[in-house]
Amino acid sequence: MAHVDPSGKAFPTLLNDCILRAARGEPTDFVPVWIMRQAGRYLPEFRELRSKHPFFEICETPDLACQVTLMPIKRFDLDAAIIFSDILIIPQALGMEVLMSGKGPEFPDPLKQDENLEDRLDFNVVIENRLSHAYKAISITRHALEGRCPLIGFSGAPWTLMCYMIEGGGSKTMSKAKKWLYQEPGKSRQLLDLLAEKVTDHLVSQVKSGAQLVQIFESNAEYLTLDLFREFALPQILKICSNFKNRLQALGIDKNSVPVIVFAKGGHYAMDDLTKAENSIDIIGLDWTMDPLSVRQKTNKCLQGNLDPCALYTNSLELTEKTRQMLNRFGTQNYIANLGHGIYPDADFDRVKTFIDNVHSISRQMNSSK
Amino acid sequence: MAHVDPSGKAFPTLLNDCILRAARGEPTDFVPVWIMRQAGRYLPEFRELRSKHPFFEICETPDLACQVTLMPIKRFDLDAAIIFSDILIIPQALGMEVLMSGKGPEFPDPLKQDENLEDRLDFNVVIENRLSHAYKAISITRHALEGRCPLIGFSGAPWTLMCYMIEGGGSKTMSKAKKWLYQEPGKSRQLLDLLAEKVTDHLVSQVKSGAQLVQIFESNAEYLTLDLFREFALPQILKICSNFKNRLQALGIDKNSVPVIVFAKGGHYAMDDLTKAENSIDIIGLDWTMDPLSVRQKTNKCLQGNLDPCALYTNSLELTEKTRQMLNRFGTQNYIANLGHGIYPDADFDRVKTFIDNVHSISRQMNSSK
């Protein structure tokens, strides 16, 4: 990882490297834990700030993004922070308008099959310049964390971004985006290649400015078949991971020092393929429908996940029991605890604290009783 | 199955029993095929009729329901008809209002956690009387089919119905309904038990009036974990199947003559459990994300599925290739071809014809070259 920010100032010494150790397969005293969307609407302090600032204004204002990123870190004993940002800043950087309503993101003018991609998208955009605010946010946040825990950067995977850019909003089937794959495989590949290139740039720039791990969200894997995933999604993910690592190495950053998490939501069918991707994917994220034991049988890779986000609705006693079950199924090594999906806005933050503290205390107990 | 309608009039002789033979594990010359939502919006004649009649008026008018059910049968060489109806007629029968907008069903007054179920739902409704129009539709449709192919009846599974009754409309997470499972397990069970009872009544009445197979749609399996599925969904499905068969037997209808299809969409995690349910589930439906080979390894049961509905967007040549691939993966015996999800409104009916005809011709070739 980078040890100095782009201005040359040294980052603070890392005081808790547990998640990096787990990612590298090194022994850990306890299981590290973070929560997808941990800086989100379930936090009253976030809702208050959000009532004053539009969503993308927060993303684009480094001080605000930093402030939001730190909110859950101040409340909970988390083992990683994740920069406040959004996967849709890549389509924005390519020239598309994205609005954030209460119902989720909306593209007023989504891509249409009969349009030339060159007419709609800025193929030549320099991501490092266009999204400089995002990288500034990462640098100041890593300083502000004072070494308390590592900072995660992230990006959407190309297929997932393509879905948003074509559907324009929510869809139960992603049938418009899938229609491209079936009817316009060439144009789909052109779009996916472009996205893969810009996603790689984005991930590299995040690491240069201070991110210590990165996660790639293939949130829309659930709509694909294994055949489509192998043709249109997986090759792009693997290309991103491998180019990302090579480019870090070329920048003088040890490529093994920045682990890559791939989270393919609904990608149960892809576990054989993902576990076999030996050198590029370091950590496989599991959604809440996956059986940890069956994936453990396939790989020694570090796994991440997968408590049902709705389990946070239950009482403290039941939640403790479910957390224990999860730890028993994953084991305490090569493992990063998380939910199996982003936390929902109506989650109770007392339960979040219970979950995080239980992951630590139960995994410590399990380790000490070995 | 029933051989006479409730008035005592004999049903026409069945001329194509291929799907029943496949369901019972008997050899078939070709693979039978039907399509979920085959009587739906992709058909111009349906859209025309629908422009004149509200959705539930069609469900409640036996002649209209019959007319719609026959629409795809007149166009295509299908091996089964499925009665035009909706899974939400059960919540309606229990006293809930359901509106059908362009965006799908909507409950203006969904169930709330702090309400007594007894205050909201008619526990004592006699389904056979309340939904008599649905059974009349089945009787006249089986006559109108003139034995061309069997008629399928269906119902939603309790968990899936519970989701609609609580969420009130579409949801990306079903978090309100899942909150009940975590916070109100007793009340959830009370609701699921009630639904299981009424669903069983509904299935039995459909068979008494002429349905020759039945399908249970657990369309919202995808939101559950394996633990939740085992606690709240599977036991209800198994209870329904077993009570359904026992009640048929008590009515003098051979319980093995009416196969039960269970389609748990997104239920990849439940395949071990479903395949082990030896005596109650006859056919397991697979969604498009499932690998047929991996399920074949688990069971000799009849399988159903699972072409990606979006594969109908591709050209005729590609579609033929994908159909051949599907048949190679499933094999030609103990198998009912279908999509892996209901057909989408923008599907091209020429492709539907190509798909159906190819299932027949390719499977005949495969059988004859053995």
CB-CB: which of A172, A268, A310 is closest to B178? A310
Q: Which residue of B has its CA nearest to A342?
A: B173
Q: Which residue has the tokens 């409340």?
A: A75
- A186 burial (CB, 10 Å; 0-12 / 13-18 / 19+) is exposed
CB contact under 8 A, B266 and A288: no
Residue of A298, A281, A171, A202 whose CA lies nearest to A234: A281
Q: What is residue B120's predicted lDDT score, i.e. its pLDDT? A: 97
Residue of A307, A318, A231, A233 whose CA lies nearest to A267: A233
Q: Which residue has the tokens 């657990």?
A: B218
Shortest distance between the Cα of B204 and any Cα of chain A, in A, equals: 32
Neighbours of A226 (CB within 10 A): 18
CA A36 – CA A43 distance, rounded (Å):
13
Supply the residues of A annotated as catalytic. Answer: 37, 41, 50, 86, 164
Shortest distance between the Cα of B309 and any Cα of chain A, in A, equals: 9
**Is the pTM here over 0.90, yes or no?**
yes
Q: What is residue A102's predicted lDDT score, i.e. its pLDDT? A: 76
Q: What is residue A370's predicted lDDT score, i.e. its pLDDT? A: 75
CA B235 – CA B251 distance, rounded (Å):
24
CB contact under 8 A, A183 and B313: yes
Shortest distance between the Cα of A243 and any Cα of chain B, in A, equals: 29
Residue of B177, B192, B280 whose CA lies nearest to B232: B192
The answer to whether position A6 is within a domain reads no
Q: What is residue A188's predicted lDDT score, i.e. its pLDDT? A: 98
Q: Which residue has the tokens 């179920």?
A: B117
Check: CB of residue B129 under 8 Å from CB of residue B122: no
CB contact under 8 A, A289 and B309: no
CB contact under 8 A, B172 and A175: no
CA A64 – CA A47 distance, rounded (Å):
13
Shortest distance between the Cα of B235 and any Cα of chain A, in A, equals: 18
The answer to whether position A4 is within a domain reads no
Q: What is residue A237's predicted lDDT score, i.e. its pLDDT? A: 98
Residue of B91, B121, B284 whose CA lies nearest to B202: B91
Going by the DSSP 8-state scheme, the letter that residue B220 receives in this structure is T
Which residues in chain B are contacts of A170 at CB distance < 8 A?
Answer: 172
Residue of B74, B64, B86 whose CA lies nearest to B146: B74
Concatenating the DSSP letter of every residue in B231-253 gives: IIIHHHHHHHHHHHHHHHHHTT-
CB contact under 8 A, A175 and B344: yes
The answer to whether position B73 is within a domain reads yes
Which residues in chain A are contacts of B172 at CB distance < 8 A?
Answer: 170
The answer to whether position A327 is within a domain reads yes
Q: Which residue of A has its CA nearest to B326?
A: A227
Residue in A178, A183, A187, A313 to test binding to B, most B beta-carbons within 10 Å: A313
Residue of A156, A192, A198 whose CA lies nearest to A36: A156
Distance of CA B171 to CAs A217, B103, B223, Å?
21, 12, 10
Check: CB of residue A76 under 8 Å from CB of residue A352: yes
Range of the domain at B53: 18-368
The answer to whether position A276 is within a domain reads yes
The answer to whether position B5 is within a domain reads no
CB-CB: which of A170, A226, A290 is closest to B291? A226
Three-state secondary-structure class, residue A284: strand
Neighbours of A148 (CB within 10 A): 19
Which residues in chain A are contacts of B325 at CB distance < 8 A?
Answer: 227
| Residue segments in chain B with a per-residue pLDDT below the cut of 70 | none
The answer to whether position B276 is within a domain reads yes
Interacting residues of B188 by C-beta distance below 8 A, sequence separation 6+: B162, B180, B181, B232
As for how many domains chain B has, the answer is 1
CB-CB: which of B172, B175, B178 is closest to A170? B172
Which residues in chain B are contacts of A222 at CB distance < 8 A?
Answer: 222, 266, 289
The answer to whether position B7 is within a domain reads no
Which residues in chain B are contacts of A269 at CB distance < 8 A?
Answer: 268, 289-291
Q: What is residue A255's predicted lDDT score, i.e. its pLDDT? A: 87
Cα diameter, chain B: 63
What number of CA atoms fall less than 13 Å from residue B178's CA on the CB side?
Answer: 25
Write down the H helix ranges in chain A. 18-23, 44-52, 55-60, 62-75, 89-93, 117-120, 127-130, 132-144, 158-167, 175-183, 185-208, 226-228, 234-250, 271-276, 292-296, 316-330, 349-368
Q: Which residue of A has its CA nearest to B185?
A: A314
Interacting residues of B130 by C-beta distance below 8 A, sequence separation 6+: B93
CB contact under 8 A, A310 and B341: no
Residue in B172, B295, B310 to test binding to A, most A beta-carbons within 10 Å: B310
Residue B165: both structure tokens together? 């009754």
Supply the CATH number for residue A306's domain: 3.20.20.210
Which residues in chain A are contacts of B227 at CB distance < 8 A?
Answer: 325
Residue A235: both structure tokens together? 């090759």
Q: Which residue has the tokens 């825990």?
A: A149
Residue in A172, A182, A317, A326 to test binding to B, most B beta-carbons within 10 Å: A182
A168 Rama sector, left if φ>0, alpha if ψ -120 to 50, beta otherwise: left
Which residues in chain B are contacts of A270 at CB distance < 8 A?
Answer: none
Which residues in chain A are contacts of B180 at CB distance < 8 A?
Answer: none
CA A217 – CA A214 distance, rounded (Å):
10
CB contact under 8 A, B225 and A289: yes
Going by the DSSP 8-state scheme, the letter that residue A26 receives in this structure is -
Supply the residues of B annotated as catalytic. Answer: 37, 41, 50, 86, 164
Per-residue model confidence as pLDDT tens for chain A (370 residues): 899 999 999 999 999 999 999 999 999 999 999 999 999 999 999 999 999 999 999 999 999 999 999 999 999 999 999 999 999 999 999 999 999 987 889 999 999 999 999 999 999 999 999 999 999 999 999 999 999 999 999 999 999 999 999 999 889 999 999 999 999 999 999 999 999 999 999 999 999 999 999 999 999 999 999 999 999 999 999 999 999 999 999 999 998 899 999 999 999 999 999 999 877 899 999 999 999 999 999 999 999 999 999 999 999 999 999 999 999 999 999 999 999 999 999 999 999 999 999 999 999 999 998 7
Q: What is residue B169's predicted lDDT score, i.e. its pLDDT? A: 87
Q: What is residue A37's predicted lDDT score, i.e. its pLDDT? A: 97
